[in-house]
Structure 1
């Protein structure tokens, strides 16, 4: 039986009319995650650990989580946390639309240091004073949600904005080596987001250049200068990252993974995977699958 990576979507009408923000306790969502089941989310998530300690993975990064740690995940990132040893915490979750429809900057969320596209955020450990302040802020957000009335979201937006700005300031104070890489170039940011969205079905440099309304040569120049890698190789790296995730976290046959990732033949996929990793898809799965 095939085991796909579960995708959890936002429960927009949990409180009656549509509301795109929520706070959930980790102890209450453990029952929805079987064992150490990897999963993805369709929304933004900021997880605060309050009790217990254990492994917390996002993308290809695994951290040892302890109380006062904070983890950030973007839509589509693969997550996996140790429900047996991380006893409790809070997840502040929201849809980008909740803020982008209000601020003049439609990419406000993506411009936050810990939510920039194409990168995986580092762990943030809160000092005592900020940790206490955040617990109080999360309680206020929860109270406002519980008292929510249709279209009355201004206080909630203000509280979420305060939380994001405080975290952004704390995250930016991390040593440079601990942070994700930042590009600052608008074309690069859009390119990264496009590859995140279309890598499974679009493999050509031409496609991404056309989406950005620039030439393939100019796109290559930008990517090579900023990311120190060619456009073709960046796309291929993203495809192989998807392939690894499907091999590790699903039981899809190799042939089906090749089809999912739009390789023309299974042999071409196997050859490409071996060139990228030094091993075959089957051997990779056998050596990495939990």
Structure 2
């Protein structure tokens, strides 16, 4: 089936990779990265960047942030310049985890001068094989600087709990095949009732709601970015039958999958 491809730009044994953004104008096909975060810092360029079901204007200086499992593609009209920082979750301390799970997908900067200089120095030290301890500190500082310069902030009224982010990561990795919350609780070695309490305190949502949100997001992405039939999408997402998938989608969107696809295609044609 022509599902959305999963690409990896980082070796399995790497926890961090920094490189200049490719200075080419070439549309990319929708794809995703399974098990690492991607931070893109652009100082130049123009065009569009689609992340899941949102399309953003590329208006540097700006930042794009992708969590594991998100689908994205580029369509540039002007040569882009900047840096790409790839990193895995194990590189972050608890404060870093708080930041990455609250960062928006797009941040437009009024003045990216200080941040760009910091990223350039980060890249230079990375190229010089500086110790991982120092590089981790760079990453932490850059994430905090992004929050500062964007005017965003960590929601301190939300109780931080590492288990919540572990659950979110597990959902990103397993939503297609693991549908029972008890199974996630077993992976986290805790009662389902405890997981439910943690998720409610951290997000105001139950584990089931969070899981359904992830399945729904992937459903929308497959409908708008692939030629897969409704039946094939239902099978890809491991629904027992097509009617079950259609019912799930309609309950959560008030639209049938077919109508959602028609509207998505019509919207895409208008933006061209």
Q: TM-score range by the shorter chain?
A: 0.7 to 0.9
Choose which of 254, 263, 272 in structure 1 pairs with 2:248. 272
Q: Secondary structure at the match of 2:201?
A: helix
Structure 1 residues 231-287: Cα deviation after superposition (integer angstroms, max 9, x where no partner): 222211211111111111111111111111111111111111111111111111111
Q: CA deviation at 1:136?
A: 3.8
- Segments of structure 2 that go 5 or more residues without pairing to the other structure are none
Q: Which residue of structure 2 aligns with residue 26 of structure 1?
A: 22
Q: Alpha-carbon deviation of 1:57?
A: 3.2
Contact 1:96 1:109 in 2 (8 A): no
1:108 to 2:107 alignment? no
Per the TM alignment, residue 131 of structure 1 is displaced from its structure 2 partner at its CA by 4.2
Q: For the structure 1 residues 207 and 217, does the alpha-carbon distance in structure 2 shift closer, same or farther, using more than 3 Å as the test?
A: same
TM-score (norm 2): 0.80
Aligned CA distance change for structure 1 residues 262 and 135 (closer, same or farther; 3 Å): closer
Could you say which residue in structure 1 is the equivalent of 2:77?
84
Pairwise CA RMSD:
3.3
User: After superposition, what is the alpha-carbon deviation per residue over 1:33-78, rounded to whole angstroms, capped at 9, x for unaligned?
Assistant: 44xx322224432212222323323334443332221222233221
Taking structure 1 as the reference length, the TM-score comes to: 0.76
Q: Which residue of 2 is the match for residue 150 of structure 1?
A: none
Q: 1:231 to 1:84 in 2, by over 3 A?
A: same
Correspondence 1:215 to 2:187: no
Query: Match for residue 39 of structure 1?
Result: 31
Measure how far apart 1:203 and its partner are: 1.2
Count of aligned residue pairs for this structure pair: 263
1:147 equivalent in structure 2: none
Equivalent residue of 1:8, what SS? coil
In structure 2, the partner of 1:232 is 208
CA distance in 2, matches of 1:74, 1:275: 26
Aligned residue among 132, 140, 164 for 2:139: 164
